[in-house]
Each structure stands twice: as structure tokens, then as C-alpha cells.
Amino acid sequence: MLRYLLLSLCLLLSACSQGPDGERLQRDLQERLDQVFGTGSVSISQLQRRGSASDAHADSGSTQRIVYFDAQLKLASARDFSSWDSPGIATLISATGAGPRGIKGVNSQGNDLGDQLSVHGSLIYRRVGDNWEVLLPQGFSPSKAPELGEDSPQQRREMLVSAISTALNLAPQGSNPRQIEIIREEMARTLASIQGRISRQENGFGIASGSTSGQYSRFAKAFSMQLREQGLNMTPLTTEGGLDNLELLRNGETTLALSQSDLSHQALAGSGPFSGDTPFTQLRALASLYPEPLHVLVLKGGPKAVSELAGKRVNIGPRGSASQGTALAVLAAHGILREQLAAARELDLPEALKALRDGELDAIVQVIGAPADAIRAASEDLDLRLLPLQADAVRQVLEQLPGTFALQLPSGTYPRQQQPLATLAVSSLLLCDASLSVNEAKQLVTALFAGNPQWLAAGSVQGAQLSLANARRGLGVPLHEGAIQALQALTQDSGKAAD
């Protein structure tokens, strides 16, 4: 009997050490869903606890567990998870701690009353005395998106290494690190040019995307997977981002490109970072894909308003980036010029979040699609806050920067964000030039919006925000004639289906 009691006690203590039970887990998850979607709007019809693991991000001396689950969610009303202005896919992912492939059942054309969603997610708990306190859903850290094409990644690396080696041998002895970096950048650009030309000749469409771990790259890879199912080939090209993509498109080194709507307008007009170039009058948009909101991030206890950033250390984004131009315009609209900052850092987002954590920054101003993976992951360690923009400042920026638009970031897009947030955004655009044939343009646009593309299964959260209703939103550049025809046909078909 004593042995039985001791065994029962050990089992009880062991269970307690692994975090809360399934009943508590379901209750906490339902509270989160009610908070962001409205009470009863999204209910849990079934939940199974799938174990737990120690949280490596826990503070020293703190006991935290990541508790995993599989859940079936039922919709109490029709819902469009691709919506930009109301709680949608970004909110669902943040509330459940899921990765893009962890959610199934989202329909790109909208979900109906009674639809069931499958979610593989997680919540983080902290031990407080004899109880467990729910903290945040686990952040999602995506793996790098592999490039596509006939050459293997190893072969492409060997090509780049060989090219760099040749260039370095040609460089003067004793070249400084910046000269070496210039050589590296030019060699990478040359490789992108080669990939684009080969892609057009043999593999179909080349699309200038971004870094291998970025949102553009993941979307381009997901789109290429959708096209492959239709017998079309697309090769995502690794680039330095939106500015580089527009230059590659102008130079004929790629057929398609991804970039921000405000930057695209500047390329069209020959202004901003393109002021030294002739206007890119042949630039055309195929569609507006998803919003890239402006985020103003601070730590709890930091500045309470954007107007308080004067005299502070602020990260404005990498030099020459589209995000930096938008960030400076927003600060100026709040009465803050660059020289009025204590420091204007030019770090990329992961570096900036580390600097904020280490007390080297007071704020980060960044344009990026939501939910941004780096921000979600950092929220596990940092008590981050988002600052709203003033209405008059938003109006001023919209007048100055065509391609921008006002946006309410839905509540629950990020942990601790309990209310909608007033900000502005640009659109991520799929771009080409006027030489793309009408039929090719129609084919690409139809592939984006027709049927029920499985963007989440392909690894792109941003792809799941594509919506025919927003395909013309915040363009900033003219639509290609083929895109106009395709969108008109898709809209008519959508209307017939609704009838």
C-alpha cells in the first residue's frame, strides 16, 4: 500500500513538473481566441495535449514549459482570414503559437459558418508556486527558404565561391574589408543575373525575391510551388531586397520582382533612391499581394508615443532600404528629423531587436509584413510594445508617399497587443515590365487568386493574406493590361459564385 501511495505521489509530481493538463490548456487557449476574435467566434471543438519541453528562453531561476497541442477549431460565422483590416491569419497564428504549416483548413476564398480548422500549436507557461501561469504562444522561427532550379544549392555555392575567388585574386593585395565586401556584393549580383537569364531561357519565369530567410523569398518559393502544379516553372532569385529587385527588373535581369509599393512608385517617377536614374516608365504591377505595416517597437516602460522619440536612439533600418525611407518620413510627420535623434542606427531587424534587448536602442521603426517572425520570436524574451501613429501624421505621409495607405493592425497580431493599432502600410507588389505578354500576365494573376491556393502549406503566412478584394490596393504603379483583364474576369467569376 505504501509503495502504491509513493508511486502515485511520484506520478503526480512528475505530471505537475511537465506543465498544466489538457483541460487547463484548452481553457487558456479559448480565452486567447475569445480575446482576439470575439467571444464564441472561434471555439475549440477538440484539443489533445501533445507533450511539453523546457523553454530555453526562460530567465535564470524561472521554470517555463512549452506545451504543445493539436486542436480542432470551429467557426461560429463566415470569416475571411485574408482580411487586412480585421483579425485574420496573422491573428490566428499569433494566438495559437503555430507555424504556417501548423494550420490547415483556411480557405483563400473565405471560410464558411461551421468550418473546422486544424491547428498544431503551443503555449508557454511559467511555474509560479504550485501553479502554472500562461505567458505567450511560442514564437515561430522559420528555416531558410531553399532556392529552386536545376542546379543544387551546393553547385550554386561552388559557382559563387569560384567567382569570388577569381575576383579576390584580381584585387590589390591588402584590400580592406569594405573592398572585399563590395566584391562579394557584386559577385552575388552577377550570379543573380546569370540565374535570371538561364531561368528565362530554360526554366520559365525568374522572380527577384530577397534574402533566403526573408518573407519575399518564402512567398516566391510558395508561389513557384503553386505554379509548378500547373505546369509552369518559376525560379526565385536571391537578392538584397526590394531596391535590388527593381534594379534587376529595370536591367532585364529578371522577369518578375517583388517590392514595396512606395518604392515602386519612386522607381516609376525617378525619385527618392532612383533620383539619379531616368523614370522606369515601363514598370507595371501584376497585383498587390499583402500589406507591410510600419511597426514602431519599444520596450515596456519606454516611450509612450512616436512624438517622444526625439533625442532617443532609434533604428531606422538598413541604409538605402525602402523601410528606412518610410521610417524617416513617418518620424518627420511626427515633428522629428533625423538629426534630432540621439542616434539613428541602420541595423537589420534581427540585429536591431538584439540591440533593443541589450539596452543599446530605445525604439525600432520597421516596415515588414505581419506577423513578422523575428518580432514574434523576440516577444518570448522581450516585453515589446507597439506605438500607434497620430492620425494627422498618417495623412501627411499618405500625401507625400504614393503607394502608402492607412491601416489598423488587428488586435492579437502580436502577443500583448490587445487593441487594434493605428499605423500605415505599403503593399508588397508582384511587378514586371510592359514587355511581359498579356497572356503571361493573365496566367500569373489567375494563378495567384483562382481556386484555393495552399499558401500556408507552402510555408508563406503572407501568401495567406492574398485577397482579390485587395489586389488593387496601394499599388503606386500602373497595372499591366493582362492583370487588368485577369482581375476583371476573376471579379466577375467571384460575383457569379456568390449568386
Cβ(245)–Cβ(254) below 8 Å: yes
> Which residues neighbour 184 within 8 Å (Cβ) at sequence distance 6 or greater?
164
Predicted local distance difference test score (pLDDT) of residue 150: 39
Predicted local distance difference test score (pLDDT) of residue 165: 57
Cell triple for 385: 510594445
Residue 236: pLDDT above 50? yes
The tens digit of pLDDT for each residue in 74-91 reads: 999 999 999 898 889 988
Residue 145: pLDDT above 80? no
Residue 207: pLDDT above 80? yes
pLDDT band at 337 (very low <50, low <70, confident <90, very high): very high
Residue 33: pLDDT above 50? yes
Torsion of CA 239, 240, 241, 247, to 10 degrees: -80
Instruction: Tell me the DSSP string of 35-79.
Output: HHH-TTTEEEEEEEEEEEEE-TTPPTT--EEEEEEEEEEEESS-B
Torsion of CA 245, 251, 253, 259, to 10 degrees: 20
pLDDT band at 496 (very low <50, low <70, confident <90, very high): low
Residue 359: pLDDT above 70? yes
Residue 497: pLDDT above 70? no
In Å, how far from its chain's centre is CA 376? 11
What is the residue type of 330? V
pTM of the model: 0.79
Region 339-359 average pLDDT: 94
Predicted local distance difference test score (pLDDT) of residue 499: 47
Region 357-384 average pLDDT: 91
Region 19-25 average pLDDT: 91
Predicted local distance difference test score (pLDDT) of residue 259: 95
Residue 149: pLDDT above 90? no
Between residues 266 and 109, the one the model is more confident about: 266
The tens digit of pLDDT for each residue in 473-484 reads: 999 999 999 999
Cβ(350)–Cβ(377) below 8 Å: no
Predicted local distance difference test score (pLDDT) of residue 15: 46
Per the DSSP assignment, residues forming a β-bridge with 363 are: 314
Within 13 Å, how many C-alpha atoms sit on residue 114's CB side?
0
Percent of the chain residues past pLDDT 70, beyond the cut:
83
The sign of the torsion formed by the CA atoms of 479, 483, 484, 490 equals: negative
Region 154-175 average pLDDT: 54
**Quick one: the chain helix, strand, coil %, rounded to 5?**
40, 25, 35
Predicted local distance difference test score (pLDDT) of residue 6: 45
Cβ(325)–Cβ(292) below 8 Å: no
3 state SS of 407: strand
- Cα 289 from Cα 388, distance rounded (Å): 24
Predicted local distance difference test score (pLDDT) of residue 381: 80
Fill in the DSSP letter of residue 471: T
Predicted local distance difference test score (pLDDT) of residue 376: 85
For 292-426, CATH gives 3.40.190.10
The tens digit of pLDDT for each residue in 246-288 reads: 999 999 999 999 999 999 999 999 998 899 999 999 999 999 9
- Cα–Cα–Cα angle for 206, 372, 265, nearest 5°? 50
Predicted local distance difference test score (pLDDT) of residue 208: 94
Judged by average pLDDT, the poorest of 59-68, 104-113, 262-271 is 59-68
Instruction: Tell me the DSSP string of 415-468.
Output: TT--S-EEEEEEEEEEEEETTS-HHHHHHHHHHHHSS---TTTTT-TGGGG--G
Residue 63: pLDDT above 70? yes
Instruction: Tell me the DSSP string of 240-300.
Output: S-HHHHHHHHHTTS-SEEEEEHHHHHHHHHT-GGGTTS---TTEEEEEEEEEEEEEEEEET
Between residues 8 and 271, the one the model is more confident about: 271
- Cα 458 from Cα 444, distance rounded (Å): 17
Residue 13: pLDDT above 50? no
Residue 159: pLDDT above 80? no
- Please give the mean pLDDT across all residues of the chain: 85
Percent of the chain residues past pLDDT 90, beyond the cut:
56
Region 379-401 average pLDDT: 93
pLDDT band at 138 (very low <50, low <70, confident <90, very high): low
> Which residues neighbour 225 within 8 Å (Cβ) at sequence distance 6 or greater?
458
3 state SS of 365: strand
Predicted local distance difference test score (pLDDT) of residue 7: 44
Between the alpha carbon of residue 210 and those of residues 198, 219, 297, 391, the distances in Å are 18, 10, 23, 32
Predicted local distance difference test score (pLDDT) of residue 142: 47
Residue 10: pLDDT above 80? no
Region 226-251 average pLDDT: 89
For 153-289+432-498, CATH gives 3.40.190.10
Between the alpha carbon of residue 37 and those of residues 32, 104, 220, the distances in Å are 8, 18, 30
Per the DSSP assignment, residues forming a β-bridge with 10 are: none
Cβ(80)–Cβ(88) below 8 Å: yes
Q: Where in the chain is the domain with CATH 3.40.190.10?
A: 153-289+432-498, 292-426
Predicted local distance difference test score (pLDDT) of residue 414: 87
> Which residues neighbour 66 within 8 Å (Cβ) at sequence distance 6 or greater?
52, 53, 54, 55, 122, 123, 124, 138
